[in-house]
Chain A
Amino acid sequence: MNIEISDLHFTYPSGVQALRGISLTIEAGEQVGIVGQNGAGKTTLVRHLNGLLHPTAGEVKIGDWDTRKYSVAKLAARVGYVFQNPDDQLFSRDVRTEVAFGPKNLGYPKEQVEALVSEALEMTELADKTEANPYDLSPTWRKMVAIASVIAMDTPIVIFDEPTTGQDAASVARIANVIRVLRERGKTVITITHDIDFCAENFERVIAMSQGRILLDGKANDVLGQEEILAATYVDPPQLARLGRRLGFKETVRNEEEFLAALKNMSA
């Protein structure tokens, strides 16, 4: 299911022009990271994908659906959205009920709901916490509950808004693993992040936004190597890309494997 965004403009009622002409195609199964300074329009853009916001001008299509013609509830079958703050989305008394809420609401048969819930709990390493009240869990685990409750809806498109904020190393690795599994299943994953190293290591395509426009859009290695352009949107290239640049690598590297391979080439 492709996402087609054409000449999207959005102005908030306060008069702030958050998006100023975004055109973008994201194909089914792509893994896209969105980076850019605070206030660049990243969250405003993704909130158009599940119909939380409607274009002031232009058009957003999820498959053959124009988001203006479908309710948020209908779009929820196509686009899952994990909020930045888990407390904005959790409300059930225990983890299992919370995670089952989405797929139940989408009207899946009982057996399918159970299978999806178990799988989502497994993937997020929550299987031993199913009876807990989400608000008795630490913020790290609440985040995993929020992720599980969206994954369980089995939507073709999944959006993460700043998934690694305030998470420790183990939790970041857990989230990276969830994204890897979604990729293997052919899901489209769109992730807003300030964690550029995380972005480099987990996304094939990267979009850099600034002041309501797309600044760069392309392969992660190409986009994240553009140090001067990224500086305009308050983003530094990833740590290993910067180190590679200092050592005179020709290519931009985005993970330890690429770095070590380039290093071996240099010394060979």
Chain B
Amino acid sequence: MAFVNLTNVTYKYPLTQTPALQNINLRVEEGEFVALIGPNGAGKSTLCYTLAGFVPHFFKGELTGSVEVAGMQTNQSSLHEWVLNAGLVFQNPFNQISGAKYTVFEEIAFGLENIGVPRDEMKVRVEEAMRLTGISDLADRSPYSLSGGQQQRVALTSILVMQPKVLVLDEPTSQLDPIGTREVFGVIRTMAERGMTVIMAEHKVEWIANFADRVIALHEGQILLDGTPREVLTSDILLDKGFGISRYTSVARRARTLGLWKREGLPVTLEEAAEGFKNA
């Protein structure tokens, strides 16, 4: 049995006609880093909410099929039982920050307080998590005085500190500068290597190609493709459906029609592109 199991999952938000997710079947192993790609409206955020238990507990609506993480099912557990199974980093950090705390340090400790972690251990875990995401210098600032990029790191840290079995992230780097993005991807990769299962909705194809183990392309609520970053991100099936593709893939595809790309497969990373063009 895989660590994350979605079987025949279909979900409709309240008052809507069309399902946001349609017959999703998905198995993810422990410690895998899976990226979800797709145009806006494809169902990426809804799938994140479903894994994190917000569907069905918070959003209500109509869920069929089963969502299972580490042997527990969402519809048979309450949201407070689910928090240690799956933690969700929101797309907009402003929606995640509690509003109940005066400092970043307290904000990050908030989740641990709620599950009754002893004070000494809490302090160690908060400091360690802040070091990991590079925000130790923000500890005494108000969460609301921060820039979008800083808030996004706080939002990530406040979930990481909970050490959920599955880390679910909905575009966690949208407001970060390029090198900040690479750093955050690096942190998430490290968590996966330590055994945390990671599922991340993201548009930044170049970083997905460099860091994820596997990519799932969603389209109109269904899984269109599921495979390695290279298999999925270079597929012609993605063309004309509103998916972002890396400039390396796109330029090599054009070069191929000019006879300037001679390899069979198309590149997704800088390394693959540089190598392929050098030997052309």
Contact A138 B270, beta carbon cutoff 8 Å: no
B95 smallest CB distance to A (angstroms): 11
**Using Cβ atoms and an 8 Å threshold, which residues of chain A touch B150?**
38-39
Say whether A165 faces chain B, with CB atoms less than 8 Å apart: yes
Q: Contacts A167-B40, A243-B277 known; A264 to B260 CB distance under 8 Å?
A: yes
Q: Contacts A38-B147, A168-B242 known; A235 to B274 CB distance under 8 Å?
A: no
**Chain B residue at minimal CB-CB distance from A201:** B247
Q: Once bound together, how far apart are the Cα atoms of A256 and B150, in whole Å?
A: 33
Pick the contact of B180 from A38, A243, A246 — CB < 8 Å? A38
**Chain A residue at minimal CB-CB distance from B244:** A169
Chain A interface residues (CB < 8 Å from chain B): 14, 36-39, 84, 138-140, 162, 165-172, 194, 196-197, 231, 233-236, 238-240, 242-243, 246-247, 256, 259-260, 263-264, 267
Q: Once bound together, how far apart are the Cα atoms of A256 and B248, in whole Å?
A: 9
Contact A243 B250, beta carbon cutoff 8 Å: no
Contact B244 A243, beta carbon cutoff 8 Å: no
Q: 11 A-B Cβ contacts within 8 A?
A: A37-B179, A38-B180, A168-B244, A235-B177, A238-B247, A239-B270, A247-B277, A256-B250, A256-B254, A260-B258, A264-B260
Taking CB atoms and an 8 Å cut-off, the chain B residues in 227-251 that contact chain A are 242-248, 250-251
Pairs of residues from A and B, 5 with the lowest C-beta to C-beta distance, nearest first: A38-B149, A234-B179, A169-B244, A246-B274, A239-B247
Contact B147 A39, beta carbon cutoff 8 Å: yes
Contact B251 A256, beta carbon cutoff 8 Å: yes
**Chain B residue at minimal CB-CB distance from A162:** B175
Q: Once bound together, how far apart are the Cα atoms of A233 and B180, in whole Å?
A: 10
Q: Once bound together, how far apart are the Cα atoms of A238 and B178, in whole Å?
A: 10
Chain B interface residues (CB < 8 Å from chain A): 38-41, 91, 145, 147-150, 171, 174-182, 203, 206, 242-248, 250-251, 254-255, 258, 260, 270, 273-274, 277-278, 280
B271 smallest CB distance to A (angstroms): 9
**Using Cβ atoms and an 8 Å threshold, which residues of chain A touch B171?**
166
Q: Once bound together, how far apart are the Cα atoms of A74 and B44, in whole Å?
A: 42
**Chain A residue at minimal CB-CB distance from B44:** A168
**Using Cβ atoms and an 8 Å threshold, which residues of chain A touch B243?**
168-169
Pick the contact of B260 from A234, A240, A243, A263 — CB < 8 Å? A263
Best-buried of B176, B177, B179, B181 by chain A (most CB within 10 Å) = B177
Given contacts A37-B179, A172-B244, A239-B248, 4 further A-B contacts (CB under 8 A): A39-B147, A162-B175, A166-B171, A240-B251
Contact B174 A166, beta carbon cutoff 8 Å: yes
B177 smallest CB distance to A (angstroms): 4
**Using Cβ atoms and an 8 Å threshold, which residues of chain A touch B175?**
38, 162, 165, 194
Contact B177 A140, beta carbon cutoff 8 Å: no
**Using Cβ atoms and an 8 Å threshold, which residues of chain B touch A233?**
177
Pick the contact of A240 from B178, B182, B247 — CB < 8 Å? B247
**Using Cβ atoms and an 8 Å threshold, which residues of chain B touch A37?**
177, 179-180
**Using Cβ atoms and an 8 Å threshold, which residues of chain B touch A194?**
175-178, 181
Q: Contacts A14-B145, A168-B244, A197-B247 known; A38 to B177 CB distance under 8 Å?
A: yes
**Chain A residue at minimal CB-CB distance from B170:** A166
Contact A239 B40, beta carbon cutoff 8 Å: no
**Using Cβ atoms and an 8 Å threshold, which residues of chain B touch A238?**
247
**Using Cβ atoms and an 8 Å threshold, which residues of chain B touch A236?**
178-179, 182
Contact A168 B180, beta carbon cutoff 8 Å: no
Contact A170 B248, beta carbon cutoff 8 Å: no
Q: Once bound together, how far apart are the Cα atoms of A260 and B273, in whole Å?
A: 13
**Chain B residue at minimal CB-CB distance from A169:** B244
Q: Contacts A239-B247, A263-B255, A263-B260 known; A196 to B178 CB distance under 8 Å?
A: yes
Contact A138 B178, beta carbon cutoff 8 Å: no
Contact B176 A38, beta carbon cutoff 8 Å: yes
**Using Cβ atoms and an 8 Å threshold, which residues of chain B touch A84?**
148
**Chain A residue at minimal CB-CB distance from B148:** A84
Contact B147 A260, beta carbon cutoff 8 Å: no
Q: Once bound together, how far apart are the Cα atoms of A260 and B277, in whole Å?
A: 11
B180 smallest CB distance to A (angstroms): 6
Q: Contacts A14-B145, A171-B40, A243-B277 known; A260 to B255 CB distance under 8 Å?
A: yes
Contact B39 A239, beta carbon cutoff 8 Å: no
Q: Once bound together, how far apart are the Cα atoms of A14 and B142, in whole Å?
A: 12
B188 smallest CB distance to A (angstroms): 18
Q: Once bound together, how far apart are the Cα atoms of A259 and B38, in whole Å?
A: 27
